[in-house]
Structure 1
């Protein structure tokens, strides 16, 4: 008998990791975690194109674009901004923003459910763009700021699939890491180590 579908809603986010990819695929940084992911939206650009004839729709086709990601964090540390946006850092530790070209990055994050289940999302090859930088003065009560980042991801070769893919999805029951481990290896190109923070 087939197992029933899971209709539990997502109630949280966790485990946002990224990996900077060099021009030479063999030269990459280890995956890094950014803590305190607050919100994320992932949208795949698709449009339906129609061909007409005899005053009716004769045929339809779907055009596919990139996958867009908008992520909000409690804070995006300057070390992560430097890597994600391809910024230059001086010997004195000063980070400069200019007409920098961001590197390709890979990303994984988890959508969590109250019972401990998780759905993992992996994106293999994309670029983040430098965000707006907004801050407010302190007033009578404390208001916490936040940081955001936007990216677009493209198709890339992923082991186990015949055609290039943009995004991987996988579900783990509470206590299982099978989907996470498979997506981690497919996206980052290496098995997940137990001590990865």
Structure 2
């Protein structure tokens, strides 16, 4: 049996979160962000070892936030507004203020594996920050100028932080078929 390494990335989706005062979360219908180039998830974990009787006796670890960064060919203005809590005005422009607050969102995608199956992921709660921008002049060769945006994802009140499934003989095909119709979560209301 092969390793079934990851060989692709596609179908990045985000879903706005509505959170009630009691911590109840509702996800909007996921929206696709076109042009996936790369995605990197970096969990911030902490590990400690307890020593007793002159040897390691116990290990403990905790997960804080996960940094999520993704790159696209171009982040459309409406997607930029969605991710960062901005508004597109009647003229089709965004006027940004220091008071804009990025909303909490879920972040999902799928990754092809070397055997042709897919791994599906949802990061359940996080927000994105205004991305770095750079522009270069044209010259005698073409240089693509892609965009990357980074966010911090945290666990929800119930401790859940990610849902994932891999296509194989035991995976529920109904769940896979509807993965981007709604954020996957057995216990959360989906709109």
After TM superposition, is the score higher than 0.5?
Answer: yes
- Alpha carbons of structure 1 residues 116 and 53: separation in structure 2 relative to 1, 3 Å: closer
CA contact (8 A) 2:25 2:189 kept: no
> 2:167 aligned with 1:172, yes or no?
yes
- Whole-angstrom distance in 1 between the partners of 2:165 and 2:132: 32
Counting only pairs closer than 5 Å after superposition, residues 1-197 of structure 1 correspond to structure 2 as: 7-24=3-20, 29-52=28-51, 56-99=55-98, 100-156=100-156, 164-173=159-168, 177-181=173-177, 184-187=182-185, 189-190=189-190
Task: Give the TM-score normalised by structure 1.
Answer: 0.78
- Whole-angstrom distance in 1 between the partners of 2:168 and 2:56: 44
Gaps of 5+ in 2: none
Q: Counterpart of 2:184 in 1: which secondary structure?
A: helix
Q: Give aligned pairs, total.
A: 181
Task: Give the TM-score normalised by structure 2.
Answer: 0.80
* Cα displacement (A) at 1:98: 2.5
Gaps of 5+ in 1: 158-162, 192-197
- Whole-angstrom distance in 2 between the partners of 1:52 and 1:28: 44
Deviations 1:74-115 (A, max 9, x none): 111111000101113333222022322100001110011244
Q: Runs in 1 of length 4+ with deviation above 6 angstroms?
A: none
| Greater relative contact order structure (CA < 8 Å, 6+ sep) | 2
- Alpha carbons of structure 1 residues 49 and 135: separation in structure 2 relative to 1, 3 Å: same
- Whole-angstrom distance in 2 between the partners of 1:136 and 1:173: 45
- Whole-angstrom distance in 2 between the partners of 1:37 and 1:67: 19
- Whole-angstrom distance in 2 between the partners of 1:146 and 1:50: 42
RMSD: 2.8
